[in-house]
Structure 1
Amino acid sequence: MATTEVTATISDAEWRVMRVVWTLKQADSRTIISLLEKQHDWKAPTIKTLIGRLVKKGALGTTKQGRQYIYTPQINEQAAMDAALLTELEQMCAMHRGTALVHVVDQLDLSRGDVETLIAHLEQKLPTAPASVPCDCLPDDCEGSCDA
């Protein structure tokens, strides 16, 4: 599976289509439409438009099987999620990213294993973490006192 740099341009609705295809590994349009119509009360033409956009962006590949097209993901799910999250975090002030992550973790349902993995990664990162992270909002103008 190729990893394509399209995650920054995938809309919220397109993410829902990708989640279906990632879960099923491959799917025809009827299956995608059936599932998304039930989940989101969307109409078939809307879903077909979303599928077409994802093909055009390189996120979905197509193969013809008889009269149907089979859609397969062309981007790795975990890599896409990682890139999307990092893109969002990079838009925030560096001083406040940690606080934003804490708030996100507080609101997510995480398994015990996920929590243990996070703790282990944070414990590994702690010895080399700087005492503070400088603001990166305005070059040469911010003295580390940005307001949240």
Structure 2
Amino acid sequence: MPNEEKPEITDSEWEVMRVVWALEEVTSKEISHVLQEKMDWKPATTKTFIGRLVKKGMLQTEKSGNRFIYTAAVSEEDSLNTLKAGLFHHICSRAVGKTIADLIGDATLSHDDIAMIEEVLQNKKKDAVDQVVCNCVPGQCTCKKDHGMNCRH
């Protein structure tokens, strides 16, 4: 069975999903209230994004009286995993380490976060390779410029 491609969601749609994930069952009015404060969106803007997310299958809707209740059709964890996989799919495999280092360098982390990252790195050392192989195709490879290395394509 082929892998089903998950729909990409925009930054604005992420804002809506974060509200739904946090509140679990929510009305458009409740979503609008949160995003009015954070994003200064009008209710019509929020409803547009809700509609897009329903069409993409990211939100489920159930009628309750004269209002709709929205719930997430996908978990936050699954969505984050899709986002991470997409990031690494779109860059050269030789750039993954630097990208991860840049992300860590830019993030605000607790001591517990740093301890967790250190543990993951210690475990990764067991499977580390001397050199990561480029996964680019000719015409997209920038290894010579970015890494000072020639690739065999």
Same fold (TM > 0.5) = yes
2:151 paired residue number:
none
Q: Which runs of 5+ in 2 are unaligned?
A: 148-153
Structure 2 CA distance, aligned partners of 1:65 and 1:43? 23
Structure 1 residues 142 and 18 mapped into 2: Cα distance closer, same or farther (>3 Å)?
closer
The residue that corresponds to 1:67 in the other structure is: 66
- Aligned residue type for 1:24: L
Q: Specify the alignment match of 1:43 in structure 2.
A: 42
Structure 1's 119 and 69: CA in aligned 2 closer, same or farther, altered over 3 A?
Answer: same
Q: Secondary structure at the match of 2:30?
A: helix
| Identity across the alignment (%) | 36
Deviation at 1:94, TM superposition (A): 0.7
In 2: Cα distance, 1:130 partner to 1:54 partner: 41
Residue 82 of structure 2: aligned partner: 83
Letter in 2 for 1:29: S
Who is 1:10 aligned against? 9
With CA pairs under 8 Å and 6+ residues apart, which has the higher RCO, 1 or 2? 1
Equivalent residue runs for 1:16-35 within 5 Å? 16-35=15-34
Superposed, which structure 2 residues align to 1:80-119 within 5 Å? Answer: 80-119=79-118
Q: CA RMSD in A?
A: 2.1
Q: 1:31 Cα deviation (Å)? A: 0.3
Measured after TM superposition, the shift of residue 125 of structure 1 is: 1.3
Contact kept in structure 2, 1:135 and 1:146, CA below 8 Å: no
Residue 111 (structure 1) shift = 2.4
Distance 1:132 1:98, change over 3 A: same
In structure 1, distance between residues paired with 2:130 and 2:120: 18
CA contact (8 A) 1:135 1:143 kept: no
Alpha-carbon distance between aligned partners in 1 of 2:89 and 2:52, rounded to the nearest angstrom: 26
Matched residue SS, 2:108: coil
TM-score, normalising length: structure 2: 0.85
Whole-Å separation in 2 of the counterparts to 1:145 and 1:14: 38
What's the TM-score once normalised by structure 1's chain length? 0.88
- For 1:123 and 1:76, how far apart are their aligned partners in 2? 29
Number of residue pairs matched by the alignment: 144
